[in-house]
Amino acid sequence: MIHILCDEKYKYDAVSIFQLFIPHEKPDFLPIGADISEIDGDYICLFEDGGKAKAEVSLEGRRAYAADAAGDGIKRGLARALYRCFDELTGINPGWGILTGVRPAKLMRRLLDTKGQDGAKEIMLRDMLLSEGKLSLCRSVAVNEGRIISLSKPNSYSLYVSVPFCPTKCAYCSFVSNTIQQAGRLIPEYLDRLCTELEETSGIPQRLGLRLETVYIGGGTPGVLTPPQLDTLMKKIAECFDISSAREYTVEAGRPDVTDAQKLRVIRANGAKRVSINPQTMNADVLAAVGRRHTPQQTVDAFNAAREAGLAVNMDLIAGLPGESFESFKGSVDRLLSLSPENITVHTLALKRAAGMDYKYGLHEAETVGRMVDYAYAAITGSGYEPYYMYRQKRSPGNHENVGYAKPGFESLYNVFIMDETHTILGTGAGAVTKLVSDGGKRIERIFNFKYPYEYISRFDELMDRKSRIEEFYRQCVQA
């Protein structure tokens, strides 16, 4: 047990830095006046002294001390002091420094706008303790994100359609989804309700004068739908919404084992031009270990079928899956590059509490994941792709990031719009969230649909009542 002594208002910052170095332990908090000499075990002490931020850490019998002038505030000063103590005691220096936020590129864009390139660089390196490599990545993503965000206008919106069913549950997954074995019988009734929600939702943007920018059918695994079911859903979307104005229409087919040529032709015939086919790894043993019942060859076959259907392709990999070595991950990156999809996203494994897999990584795994993401960056950018989209999650080995890379002109706009909270996303289906955005993101409100298909079906009228809030939100924004 590690004890933390600090003022109540610094608890969050203390835990955020603590978990960068010791991710699987939960600290015990003690009042700042506690006697350190009476503590049995390791401890962290954070305090302000004469305008300086100071940290003392005892870890496995070794101690480290650090002080920081705290010119930009005591909170950041304490975070830097604690980071430096752990760096000294563990030899680890996470590349993102003390920056623990989900959207580092959003901060970088703001700094570039207000401080210029040199000022932003100085703040990120000196105050946030970023490495040169993470700084370069963050700056590239910020510039590319900014270009995409500029496409959005005050009356823009996007549409998300949820199909929360999967062929099987992946061991690392924490999303709310239902296997076909569990809930496949609900699909026909679920689709009926979803089509009704699409009909009733479609009048809202029409009355508000909003313009559709992107459409994304996600899940779950929408590829579990049969070709007629997929055709019915997509025809309903086209009937209800003006997809002619959309800059992008994507269907997350998902798993290669449920993606076939007939479904891909249905997708293309109904107006979508992009599909996601997500292998996560091209290592057959790792696929089996995490519960994905498809082979690397099925990924290749699904990719080729998408090409024959005339679709652009997004593909995902996960760095840090159990049993994945650096060499096998490198092989997965190289294999995807040989296929040359328009978009490759490299995620870092981040296990949430809802995941079915209890995998506790150590320093060795974190170091290996660092090599994986570094190789992916070098290999993918070296093949002509650019990083344009990025977010971070807690509980990932080495505190690394998730990055979307695209060939120029093939960036996934929806990914940027939803992560940046650029404009309103109208969410439909079980588990979907409508995110209302106004005034350049200064005002945000969420409306949650019920998570589970059976609840979505049985409480549908209640769900639709919630959506009356959408027009009220826009009326209030106009009045303000």
CB-based contacts of 339: which residues, under 8 Å, 6+ apart?
300, 303, 313, 315
Q: Rounded mean pLDDT of 217-221?
A: 92
CA distance linking residue 68 with residue 288, whole number of Å: 49
3-state secondary structure the chain: CEEEECCHHHHHHHHHHHHHHCCCCCCEEECCCCCHHHCCCEEEEEEEECCEEEEEEEECCEEEEEEECCCCCHHHHHHHHHHHHHHHHHCCCCCCCCCCCCCHHHHHHHHHHHHHHHHHHHHHHHHCCCCHHHHHHHHHHHHHHHHHHCCCCCCEEEEEEEECEECCCCCCCCCCCEEHHHHHHHHHHHHHHHHHHHHHHHHHHHHHCCEEEEEEEEECCHHHCCHHHHHHHHHHHHHHCCHHHCCEEEEEEECHHHCCHHHHHHHHHCCCCEEEECCECCCHHHHHHCCCCCCHHHHHHHHHHHHHCCCEEEEEEEECCCCCCHHHHHHHHHHHHHHCCCEEEEEECCCCCCCCCCCCCCHHHHHHHHHHHHHHHHHHHHCCCEEEEEEECCCCHHHCEEEEEECCCCCCHHHHHHHHCCCEEEEECCCCEEEEEEHHHCEEEEEECCCCHHHHHHCHHHHHHHCHHHHHHHHHHHHC
Q: Rounded mean pLDDT of 125-154?
A: 96
Residue 227 has pLDDT above 90, yes or no: yes
Q: What is the pTM of this model?
A: 0.93
Which tokens hold the place of 296? 């690397």
At 258 the pLDDT is 92
Q: Rounded mean pLDDT of 32-53?
A: 89
CA–CA distances in Å: residue 117 to residues 53, 98, 161, 249, 429: 28, 20, 39, 34, 42
Residue 290 has pLDDT above 90, yes or no: no
CB-based contacts of 388: which residues, under 8 Å, 6+ apart?
141, 144, 145, 148, 404, 405, 406, 411, 416
At 168 the pLDDT is 80
Q: Rounded mean pLDDT of 153-169?
A: 93
Q: Rounded mean pLDDT of 335-339?
A: 98
At 361 the pLDDT is 60
User: Do 387 and 405 touch, CB atoms closer than 8 A?
Assistant: yes
Confidence of residue 106 (pLDDT cuts 50, 70, 90): very high
At 36 the pLDDT is 83
Q: What is the pLDDT of residues 415-463, one digit of tens each?
A: 999 999 999 999 999 999 999 999 888 899 999 999 999 999 999 999 9
Residue 360 has pLDDT above 70, yes or no: no
At 179 the pLDDT is 76
Q: What is the pLDDT of residues 173-204, one digit of tens each?
A: 766 567 777 788 999 999 999 999 999 999 99
Q: Rounded mean pLDDT of 91-108?
A: 92
Confidence of residue 352 (pLDDT cuts 50, 70, 90): low
At 480 the pLDDT is 66
At 176 the pLDDT is 58
Report the chain's mean pLDDT, rounded to a whole number: 92
CB-based contacts of 310: which residues, under 8 Å, 6+ apart?
268, 273
Which tokens hold the place of 82? 């604690």
